[in-house]
Amino acid sequence: MENTLQLADAAIQTSGLSERALCKELGVAVTNIAMARKRGSLSPIVAGQLAARMGLDVEHWIAVSVLESAPKSDSTNRLRRAMGWASATARKNVAFRRATKALQAMLAFGLGDRTPMPPHRLHAHAEPSSNLR
């Protein structure tokens, strides 16, 4: 689970209760989880209650909820990274950079033959390699 909405979904699945019944059990308004879906995150109190109910780290889920609802800034991005999670966009960017590096390495080694291609030919190589056909 990476976000509080996934926490809510997991709590609903493990408890077998509906959203409304779970809200009643937690002592919050019956529309609380439905409204959180529209907002994009649970409140810190509900996230903490769900985490405690499921036996998870309450402080972690309260912090996740606070960061989800905080305005996006360099400070919140640093905190997200420190907590070990990043936005979907950041994960896509990391995957793109890794794929780009792997492709550059493959091109540098001529796609299979272990003879490095001279740097001046790396970018000017217009003809596709015979290994790709």
Q: Rounded to two decimals, what is the model's pTM?
A: 0.59
pLDDT in tens, 40-76: 899 999 999 999 999 999 988 898 888 888 888 888 7
Pairwise CA distance, residues 62 & 49, whole Å: 9
